[in-house]
Each structure stands twice: as structure tokens, then as C-alpha cells.
Amino acid sequence: MDAPGGTPPSADTLQRRLTSHCYRLLGSITEAAEVARGVSSYDDATRECLVRAGARSLPTDLAPPSVNPEGALSERSEVLWLEPIPDHLIDGRPLDLGLIAALQRLPPRQRAATVLHDIEAWPADRITNLLGPVEPASALGSVAGVPPRTDVLLLQRYRAAFEEYDVPAIVGLFTDDTIWEMPPFTSWFRGARDIGRLISTHCPAQGPGDQILIPLRANGQPAFAVYMRDPRDNIHRAFQLQVLTLTAAAIVHAVAFFDPSLFPTFHLPDLLTGLPPNLYDGTLKPHLERLPKH
């Protein structure tokens, strides 16, 4: 909270706080970072976000689960899709994807009031002075109440299964209720069996080493950057960012963002180079480089 008095935050801390605040309101790290760079207070940031605010979605917001994993995938590039935020830009308060998706379902002014009340702990009169009369939503506490779980062994098994392109092993890490969604595709799938059929049918990988997974963190959750081998030149290119929700024994939700333009925000390159001849030997440590700009 940027209340008067006390020691003011450093410029870097304030920038991170404003970026997180704008991200909660906009659901887009691309727009949030742009707004945060141009303002110096929560008031100004909130006003600018209200000018820009739409309603960003995940596929689960738009349609029921798909029933044909082997069928054509429906893509809608015109939809404003939710984006992930890298952990190095977050302010330490709740930012998990479930919370951000729930906030995006609120009208913009109520969304702002809810964030300022529940996250920033602003008093009601200060919120009213900025936004006018508007009631914060009352049902978001349960969405943000439990910190996302991280299980290192489970994540290691998940990474190995994908890098070996072992679909049965991948399926074994999901449950009958696991959700897999892939913006900008509106098609999404529920259950280990259908997710396995989807991966077997639509994943470009053919065998071990075709996919390389780089561990990272997004929205305070475990995540991976996925690089896919391009058979034309044998180079692994940015493919998708996966953000995961875990229980003690399984992956229960995976959002695969098919948007390579997000990779620079995570300080990730466009391609991997310097891979050994054996593309997957269990100890792969690829050298990272960026594609030259043309």
C-alpha cells in the first residue's frame, strides 16, 4: 500500500508493486508492465487500468470441455486471453491464475475495488474517493486462500516424462479431474485419458529430446518453458509456457500458453543452442541464446 508516512519503497520495489497491481486489474503482464512504467502511484495506475480494462479469459471461461481430443482444435486469436506473470515481477501477495481469472469475471470498477480492498488493504473512503461508490466483491477470499503447492519430485517426473515423450508416464501424473487448457485454443480437456489422447494426437514431438522443459515460476506457481525441436534445422524453438497446479500426488490443472512473445518477459530466449548429440540423457544443460533480430 502506498499510504502516506513511513519509509517510501525503493524505485524497484514500487515498480514491482505497481506491475503486480496492474496485472491483477488487466490480466495481462504485457499491458501491466507498460502501464506501470508510465505511472508513479496506485491512483494513477488504477485510473489507467480502468481505461484499458477488458475481460481476459481462459478457455474454461468460454465453453464446456471438449469431447474429441483427436479432433481439430478451435483457435480464437481475437479473444483477449489471460497471460501469466513471472515471479520476479510479483509483489508477494496472491497472484495465482485462479484468482486472476476470478477477478477478470468482475466488472472493471468492482475488480479495482476488490483488489484495493482485499489485496492493498485500502480503507473504504479512499477507494470511494478514487472509484466512486462501488462495493468490492465478497467471494474471492476462498480463491486466494491457499498458497500454490510445489512438489519437486513430482515436477521432476513431469519434466522427464515430457522430455522423453512418454505419454503413458505423462498421463500417470494426472487425475480423472485434471484440466488442460491452451490459449489461444478454446478447446480444453478434462481427465487424464483425454489429455493423453490430445498429446498423442496434436503434440509435434515424435520422441525423446524433441521437447526441452526449462523450470521456472509464474503466478507464484510451478511452471515450465517448453522448447520444441524444429526438424527442418534441428533447433529447439520457444513453443509454450506451462503453468501448473499441484496436489500432493498429481497435476490437477495445466495451462499451456501458446504465445512465444511472452518468453522475453520471463528472461527466456527464443531458441536453445549447444545441445549435445544425445538430446535427452537426463542431465541436459542447454546453452541459451536469443535469435538474432532481423
**Average pLDDT along the chain:** 89
pLDDT, tens digit, 9 for 90 and up, residues 227-274: 999 988 889 999 999 999 999 889 999 999 999 999 999 999 999 876
Q: Find all residues with CB under 8 Å of 219, minimum gap 6, and list them.
A: 84, 85, 87, 90, 95, 96, 97, 100, 148, 243
Helix, strand, coil shares of the chain as percentages rounded to 5?
35, 20, 45
- DSSP states along 107-176: -HHHHHHHIIIIIS---HHHHHHHH-S-PPPSS-TTTSSSPPP--HHHHHHHHHHHHTT-HHHHHTTEEE
Both 125 and 193 in one domain: the answer is: no
What pLDDT tens digit does each residue of the chain (294 aa) get?
Answer: 454 445 778 889 999 999 999 999 999 999 999 999 999 999 999 999 999 988 899 999 999 999 999 999 989 989 999 999 999 999 999 999 999 999 999 999 999 999 999 999 999 999 999 999 998 987 565 455 556 777 889 999 999 999 999 999 999 999 999 999 999 999 999 999 999 999 999 999 999 999 999 999 999 999 999 999 998 888 999 999 999 999 988 999 999 999 999 999 999 999 987 655 544 444 444 444 444 443
d(CA 174, CA 178): 6
Stated pTM of the model: 0.88
**pLDDT score recorded for residue 139:** 57
Which of 131, 163, 186 is where one domain is finished? 131
Residue 143 counted as domain residue: no
Domain that holds residue 229: 152-289
**pLDDT score recorded for residue 293:** 41
Both 186 and 247 in one domain: the answer is: yes
Residue count of the chain: 294
Residue 115 counted as domain residue: yes
Both 156 and 275 in one domain: the answer is: yes
Both 163 and 125 in one domain: the answer is: no
CATH number for the domain including 182? Answer: 3.10.450.50
Both 23 and 88 in one domain: the answer is: yes
